[in-house]
Structure 1
Amino acid sequence: MNRHEFFQTSLISSLMDGVYEDELTIGELLSHGSFGLGTFNALDGEMVILDGHCYQLRGDGTSRPAPLGAKTPYATVTDFVPSHRLEVRSPVTRAEISKLIDKVLPSANYMYALRITGHVDWVTTRTVVQQSKPYRPMVEATDGEEIVRTEDVSGSFAGFRTPVYQQGISVPGCHVHFITEARDHGGHVVDFQLGSGLVEVCVGTDLRLRLPISTEFAHAELAPEDLAIQVAKTEHTAGE
């Protein structure tokens, strides 16, 4: 195993507490990695980064190239170097593919970037909608989000699988976003069934963490007792 770095700006617990603004631009973020996910200032959509291109997935389900001057309050990126590959030839659900990935991972104690490319029988997504000040906690900002089901489409999933001990730093378990092959639709993944495709895994051994320098971050509540519940609710999952 070779050392490989993941770069992350801010903390998931900070996002949970409503710290939705920072000064890191998309242009600077891309200097740290060509693959990743996150969100934009004011929660103005979900982020997917593939092959060095950043896309902004909007609240209406559409996607567009993100302006390099746009800013992010939370994102994780890396230069994707696959160490494990798994070809899928028959339909598998998200839960089933998670178990298949577990079998090829060397340990549950490392971080992993996941890239899945192929044909999707169906995928359900939701997308955050731009917020206005004063910002509400994320469990309130994402409450009632519409879940959209898309069927018979080709596209890519970009995600990270994070150990439980990183609770509060990242999303424990799998955090995954989807974008269509045409790069015109996508969102935060709730569930899916992959018809066929390629699963690739990149092992992360080093985490470079950048914290915001702001009054909002300095006064944020980063360790609430119900943090795990908050994250699970915003992820629309009990964890994986």
Structure 2
Amino acid sequence: MENTDACSCVHEIAKSFANLKEREADHDLAEIYQTSLMSALIDGVYEGSVRIAELLEHGDFGLGTFNDLDGELVAFDSEVHQLREDGSARVASMDQKTPFAVMTRFRPTICGELSTALHKRDVQDIIDKLVASPNLFCAFRIDGRFEHVETRTVPRQTEPYRPMLQAIERQPVFRFEETSGTLVGFRCPPYVQGINVAGFHVHYITDDRRGGGHVLDYRLLEGKLEVAKISKLRIDLPRTVSFQQATLHSDEMSQAIEAAEG
């Protein structure tokens, strides 16, 4: 049964944001840069040639992973952190490489305060209403206080690489209680499933930069939401043998991505 109180709250918050003036000039300039495809990652293509320093040439905000599937990547304010399989975080080296990442120059077109406690689904509904169209991309950032954030991080893989669904069978899950931190996320249209992750893809890092991971669930107590609508996508495909030989489409691909990304 639908929670009418939650729906009303989401509607009112989205309505208050709608009164804010959008900076459409920034919207027109925004672009997502992506290296490789999500379907390649699902198939076990865990080695790329793009260095973190090169990623930062394409944006100051993003997410992804590292070679060997060695933790989660989160980037904002031109800083890149590696969220590791033990739940910890560290600053990434400029020489580390990624097999899959998404970056943008984050210029939010809508900003506002979230002063009501909200679950993940509520926040996603608000963002959907703010973007208005399911056919556009958006990047979003939330700096706030959280009652809890549940994350996971896939352990580092070694060759011969297993497909991601096998790699995540024993992935560690962490629960960060009563923390302040930053959510970095993208919402992609349904038609890019396999190219990217359709729907919401979010990573979290605590304010003390000691922990985080790929977000499974959270409850926000209060925070600042910034949203950037994006209508341009640029993709650089790897030239590696593993990518050329990968199975990049199958009838089960969508289900595999949903299982891997939560």
Shift of 1:234: 0.7
Match of 1:3 in 2: 29
1:98 aligns with 2:124: yes
Following superposition, which runs of at least 4 residues in structure 1 exceed 2 angstroms of deviation? none
Match of 1:111 in 2: 137
Secondary structure in structure 1 of the residue aligned to 2:228: strand
CA deviations on 1:116-162 (whole Å, 9 max, x unpaired) are 11101100000011100000000110112122111110000001000
Q: 1:174 aligns with which of 175, 200, 208?
A: 200
Percent identical among aligned pairs is 44
Shift of 1:163: 0.2
- Once residues 4 and 106 of structure 1 are traced to their aligned partners in structure 2, the CA distance between those partners, rounded to angstroms, is 17
CA RMSD of aligned residues (A): 0.8
How does 1:22-37 map onto structure 2 within 5 Å?
22-37=48-63
Match of 1:81 in 2: 107
Match of 2:46 in 1: 20
Shift of 1:106: 3.3
Shift of 1:31: 0.7
- Once residues 107 and 73 of structure 1 are traced to their aligned partners in structure 2, the CA distance between those partners, rounded to angstroms, is 30
Structure 1 unpaired stretches of 5+: none
- Once residues 146 and 51 of structure 2 are traced to their aligned partners in structure 1, the CA distance between those partners, rounded to angstroms, is 32
CA contact (8 A) 2:85 2:172 kept: no
Structure with the higher fraction of residues in strand conformation: 1
1:129 aligns with 2:155: yes
Match of 1:143 in 2: 169
Structure 2 unpaired stretches of 5+: 1-23
Q: 2:246 aligns with which of 201, 215, 220?
A: 220
Shift of 1:182: 0.9
Secondary structure in structure 2 of the residue aligned to 1:199: strand
1:165 aligns with 2:165: no
Query: Which has the higher Rg, Structure 1 or Structure 2?
Result: 2
Shift of 1:65: 0.4
Structure with the higher fraction of residues in helix conformation: 2
State the TM-score, normalized to the length of structure 1. Answer: 0.97
1:229 aligns with 2:250: no
Give the total of aligned pairs: 236
Shift of 1:207: 0.7
CA deviations on 1:71-99 (whole Å, 9 max, x unpaired) are 00000000100011231112100001111
What one-letter code is carried by the residue in structure 2 that aligns with 1:172? A
CA deviations on 1:154-203 (whole Å, 9 max, x unpaired) are 00000100000001110000000000011110000000000000111111
